[in-house]
Chains A and B, each alone.
Chain A
């Protein structure tokens, strides 16, 4: 069965510092991979997605993620965090004709001034 693991429940970084959020997936074939962000009191918004091709994908708000098949990982990165990036981040995996996305448990990002 497909599954997504986000090993970090909370991460705190200083404003201006770099960020990496971890995501590991379990899936038999090449999955479709996504990162979503949930700001306080809001629904989830798609940051970026990977279907195939270049393993480094760019998203909105300056985020990027790298697909590493050998490590079954799809980590999210940002070179310099802004206070407005404080939110909860969800990694998700999908499969054609599955009619759903499977979400990880989320990582809450706190940003220190």
Chain B
């Protein structure tokens, strides 16, 4: 089954404790991206990657890091989480630039709470 898998689905942590949210896709997609969803703000892009070892900032990259060492994986790293990073995070993938294809495949989301 074609899917985007995120882990963990739920996480409560404390300020400053490094964490990683993993994302894996089994569709051989070139493009992967992270979004955060906040009430009243919709989804905002954090980082994206068009290929292995190629990553770039989205609209809200501060406080986050990513890596793309393998095509299927795109982890999101919070080196020193702060309460304003409490949010619902989505990983998404696409065969190509979604601005061209329009179709993003989303994971089920990871709800992160930073105390």
In the complex, residue of chain A having the shortest beta-carbon distance to the beta carbon of B102: A49
Q: Which residue of B lies closest to A6 (CB)?
A: B42
Instruction: Tell whether B41 is near chain A: CB-to-CB under 8 Å.
Output: yes
CB < 8 Å neighbour of A90 from B43, B102, B109:
B43
Partner of B99, one of A9, A44, A45, A97: A97
Segment of A61-69, A77-85, A98-106 in the binding face: A98-106
Q: How far is the CA of A51 from the CA of B104 in the complex (A)?
A: 15
Find B104's partner among A32, A41, A101, A106 (CB 8 Å cutoff). Answer: A101
A106 to B35, CA, bound (A): 15
The proximity string for B residues 49-92 relative to A, scoring 1 for CB distances below 8 Å and 0 otherwise, is 01000001011000000000000000000000000000000101
What is the size, in residues, of chain A's interface with B at 8 Å between Cβ atoms?
Answer: 26
- In the complex, whether A43 has a CB less than 8 A from a CB of chain B is yes
Once the chains are docked, how many angstroms separate the CA of A6 from the CA of B35?
19
Mark B residues whose CB is within 8 Å of A: 4, 31, 33, 35, 40-45, 48, 50, 56, 58-59, 90, 92, 97-100, 102-104, 106-109
Other CB < 8 Å A-B pairs besides A99-B33, A99-B99, 8 of them?
A: A43-B108, A45-B106, A46-B103, A49-B103, A94-B100, A94-B102, A96-B97, A101-B98
